Amino acid sequence: MTTLIAKKLTLKQVHQLLNFEEQLNGSFTSLLSLEPLTEFEQQELAQIRNDFRDYLIDGKVLEGQIKLLVISPLLRLAGFFHSPIKISLEQDIDEIVVEDEDTKITGRFDILAVNKEQPTTTDVAFWLLVIEAKNSSINSFEGLPQLLTYAHQSLERQELAWGLTTNGTDYRLVLIRQGNPATYQQMPLLNLMDSESAIQLLQILKAICKLQNSSTQG
């Protein structure tokens, strides 16, 4: 059996091995209800942006720095640190076996937010958001094959999951759905360094978090 490493897969390989198909023209407005940010949230967001800008000025920002400087504060502001949501870091995925190809795929996701109280078809926590981080010199698009590979596991237990791949500056959100084939939609690219785009980014993260919590309470 051939073993493939998720971070080395191309998007074409992911389409073929995991039966994924892209749907075009993704839109946040048709999927999420965005609420205005409070003055405090806007101030915190501006601070995150300014802190990250200082690092960008000095040169390439590494993945670990991006997680600490940007992703973690954004998730906190968006509500992902509150129960029943739990954050997992750098965990190995279960091996994905592609029987027709006599192939298995291994890998390790960067960040995973799960809701432990929302039921799935099996006794496994609901995947809210899968995040793949790249260093600041790499295009955020390059994290998409990994993101889809990791999210593929969740589709066995739930109808959809959100994914995010980022290099700290650009944020590429993806909606991933069950199906035959499974589908994904890339949403409009967001940029932390643009103030209006950064505001929308935080609004979207808050909406994803709130949507899943509402589902649990309902």
Structural domains in the chain, sorted by start: 2-217 (3.90.1570.30)
pLDDT at residue 216, rounded to an integer: 40
Q: CA end-to-end span of the chain, whole Å?
A: 44
CA distance 104 to 2: 6
* pLDDT tens digit sequence for 5-44: 988 999 999 999 999 999 988 788 888 999 999 999 999 9
Give percent above pLDDT 90 in the chain. Answer: 67
- 8 A C-beta contact, residue 63 and residue 143: no
Look-up: residue for tokens 């960008």?
56
- For 80, the token pair is 């992902």
Residues 136-188: tens digit of each pLDDT: 999 999 999 999 998 887 888 889 999 999 999 999 999 999 999 999 999 99
Total-model pTM = 0.89
Bigger pLDDT: 70 vs 217: 70
Mean pLDDT of 192-210: 96
- Across the range 186-204, mean pLDDT stands at 96
